[in-house]
């Protein structure tokens, strides 16, 4: 069985390298998706904020907006 040991070690090394590369790829993909989703959210919020002032309250899209009057 000692003849198989170097082959086993080489397989394990290849699997370790493969798993490390897969981890790097997954992390990169996760970061790209996170950045894309964050950008989508920013653009969506910006599209909703057109005409928005700090004193305007909007409860939902079915009700009219209300202006808060403070003294």
Q: Say how many domains are in the chain.
A: 1
Alpha-carbon 26 to chain mean position? 12
User: What are the tokens at 8?
Assistant: 């086993």
Over its length of 71 residues, how does the chain's per-residue pLDDT go in tens digits? 455 567 677 777 778 888 889 999 999 999 999 999 999 998 888 887 766 655 555 555 565 665 666 66
E strand or H helix that includes residue 13: helix 4-48
pLDDT of residue 1: 47
- Domain extent at residue 27: 4-67
Q: What is the pLDDT of residue 61?
A: 57
Report the candidate in 50, 51, 56, 49 with the shortest Cα–Cα distance to residue 70. Answer: 56
């Amino acid at each position: 069985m000692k003849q198989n040991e170097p082959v086993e070690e080489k397989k394990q090394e290849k699997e370790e390298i493969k798993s490390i590369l897969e981890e790097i790829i997954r992390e990169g993909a996760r970061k790209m998706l996170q950045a894309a989703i964050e950008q989508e959210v920013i653009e969506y919020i910006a599209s909703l904020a057109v005409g928005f002032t700090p004193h305007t309250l909007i409860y939902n899209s079915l009700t009219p907006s209300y202006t808060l009057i403070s003294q």
